[in-house]
Amino acid sequence: MKRQQLNDSGRWVIKIGSAVLTNDGLGLDQSRIEDWVKDISILRENGHQVVLVSSGAVAEGLVRLGWNNRPSTVHELQAAAAVGQTGLVQAYETEFAKYGIRTAQILLTADDLSDRQRYLNARSAIQSLIQLGVIPIVNENDTVGTEEIRFGDNDTLAGLVCNLVEADRLLILTDRQGLYDSDPRSNTDAKLVSEGRAGDPALESMAGSSSGKLGRGGMTTKLRAAALAARSGTCCLIASGREQGIISRISQGEQLGTLLTAGENPVGARKQWLAGQLQVQGQLVLDDGAVKVLSKSGRSLLPIGVAEIRGNFVRGDLVSCVDQLGRELARGLVNYNSDESSRIIGKASSEIAEILGYCDDEELIHRNNLVLMEV
């Protein structure tokens, strides 16, 4: 997608980070919210659909509770999120109401997008809201989140939401102008990267790993979110949320921020779900022959091509397929549990019934439940 095509009608996921939303922790920046909401209302008038992914609940909660620093304990973070979420949603509802637009709050955990049924439920609910003309406002459910189930940052959540709703564009608004070829805070000669390809490893090497005190993400997580979104054909823009009229200007093709383009062949909806999973239950280590077949053709994975089983999993769990060096090649839903799989790996499919006493499937993973992990 070229910048001049951004004004074509489409579905946007717009992610707003904590730093720009709360003016670096001073509280919700009402003037910025007014600006973004005005731009989103213009997008809607021009035939676009919008899903908003908003950080800021924890940061707003810190202000309301009078805490100067982000706490480290889960229960204190949960408390801050609960206090701040009410103010965050109220601020959006008030501003959107000025344009006759209703909003809806959607709180998700990683578990919601790891379970196929809950994933489909979330997808149906958001799709229905969009059709009703409502702006879904999505946030991580920090109130019940724990280290085991949280996404880790709302950039990742935004990328997964793009898969969920089959978005055309992901706009990540942050406190920086975009991706630079080196850290502009330490290198005055750093140059803004105007355009690149989502998933390009060379871009991640430029990003660094730092994140602000308010959020959990950094530029690296934004690039990874772009790669996640690209699996469903979504292009991504990373730009400064502090620029006046940023959303409208970008939608009109103005040369702002960093544009990360997606590949030409987005995978199907079921495979988007598989590719975006965060809770892999085990690993299948493939032999060299299976690596070649899987990489080139994406055919079903047979037991004979698996050299080792790692982890404990049950039938239907998501497992990772890796080569001998541990490089992930694919993910898929496995047809046998870990004990059964350990007994049949390296064997021909015709031997499964003799070894196990039954044969439910000839494949360990059927090709319809398998997705290659290359963008």
Contacts of 186 (CB under 8 A, 6+ apart): none
User: What pLDDT, in 10s, does the model give residues 300-353?
Assistant: 999 999 999 999 999 988 999 999 999 999 999 999 999 999 999 999 999 999
- Domain ends where: 216, 242, 272? 272
Q: What pLDDT score was predicted for residue 117? A: 77
- pLDDT at residue 148 tops 70: no
Domain total in the chain:
2
Is residue 375 scored above 60 in pLDDT?
A: no
* Average pLDDT for 7-25: 89
CA-CA distance, 246 to 241, in Å (whole number)?
7
Domain containing residue 95: CATH number? 3.40.1160.10
Mean pLDDT of the chain: 88
Listed residues 272, 294, 318: the one ending a domain: 272
Domain stop point among 211, 240, 272: 272
**pLDDT for 74:** 82
3-state SS class at 81: helix
**Which of 151-160, 194-203, 285-294 has the least mean pLDDT?**
151-160
What are the respective helix, strand and coil percentages of the chain, to the nearest 5? 40, 20, 40
Task: Place 173 in a pLDDT band, splitting at 50, 70 and 90.
Answer: very high
pLDDT tens digits for range 233-258: 899 999 999 999 999 999 999 999 99
Does one domain contain both 163 and 107? yes
At residue 115, what are phi and psi to the nearest 5 degrees?
-90, 125
Query: According to the model, what pLDDT value does residue 208 have?
Result: 64
Please provide residue 271's backbone torsions phi and psi, each rounded to the nearest 5 degrees: -75, -25
Looking at the structure, tell me whether residues 114 and 162 fall in a common domain: yes
Residue 318 domain boundaries: 280-372
Name which residue leads in pLDDT, 104 or 186.
Answer: 104
Q: The CATH number of the domain where 295 resides is what? A: 2.30.130.10
Whether 200 and 320 map to the same domain: the answer is: no
pLDDT tens for residues 54-78? Answer: 988 888 899 899 998 888 888 888 8
The whole-model pTM stands at 0.80
